[in-house]
Amino acid sequence: MLDKLPKEAQEWAESLPWKQRRYVLSLCHLLCAAPAEVQAAFLDEYTAEGMITKILTDYDAQKTIELSLAKFHITTSLTGENLRKYIRQFYIHSAQDMRRQPNKYLESALKLVASHQEKNNILNYILGFEIIKILFQMSWLEQERFYRLQINQDEFYHRYVKPIQYAHRVNKIVNPKDENVFFAKRDYYVQKPEIKEKKLVELIMLTFSTEQVCNLGFGLSHSLKHIVFDYDYIYNEQEEKPQTFNL
């Protein structure tokens, strides 16, 4: 099992005297036996500070994320408090993604800490999650305007819009009535979803995996043209004649 550790960690573990090895074993036992919430609290305190420091001292990476957030009119700032919240959320999301295996929480946290790319993973996750948050809070008309702007409309619709609209439906956030009646007045189409922050985060974590969120953030952090965004066009209050999604 020690062979799976990084070389430095393996050498350190093997060099410990028996008394200190007992401490390590006790800690391993307590962590593995603890519920995911307890593991989250511990790892948040034990690992987050180092990662927050790495991010806050990487001014180029910070600037890249801040420019991307500003493009989408997102005011979230990379403060220590926000970073800590997202690091903990990343741990939980990684363990409770589409596989729904809370017992994998510790494993996902260890992978993140051991990786040399952990800082970038967190930043990409923050950026991707913030973009999905605004998509979740758009009306279906605004979502349609958004996906119309993209170079690959079909891919964007099926990857992001369709799963979000499904979540809107099943959670009764948007309740389509007479959607198949062509001349029906479809108020639901311009309805702005009302979702409390806690519920919004839960829905996103249920709808998208950490990999999907990170991939979105990765694309944006490497090119601001990865997703086209026109705030004035998308949020224009003048209603257009709505078109049904039939891709």
The domain ranges of the chain are 36-234
The answer to whether residues 55 and 83 touch, using CB atoms and an 8 Å cutoff, is yes
Distances (CA, A) of 15 to 11, 24, 110, 237: 6, 12, 21, 67
pLDDT of the residue at 37: 67
DSSP 151: S
The answer to whether residues 236 and 146 touch, using CB atoms and an 8 Å cutoff, is no
Contacts of 246 (CB under 8 A, 6+ apart): none
Report d(CA 13, CA 22) in Å as an integer.
Answer: 11
Least reliable range by pLDDT among 13-17, 28-32, 229-233, 243-247: 243-247
- The string of pLDDT tens digits covering residues 84-109 is 889 888 877 877 764 555 555 566 56
Alpha helices in 57-189 (DSSP H): 59-71, 80-95, 105-114, 118-136, 140-148, 153-156, 162-170
- The string of pLDDT tens digits covering residues 44-64 is 677 777 778 888 888 888 888
Residue with the two structure tokens 């009535």? 177
Q: Name the pLDDT band for 244 (thresholds 50, 70, 90).
A: very low
Q: Name the pLDDT band for 179 (thresholds 50, 70, 90).
A: low
Contacts of 92 (CB under 8 A, 6+ apart): 36, 40, 105, 205
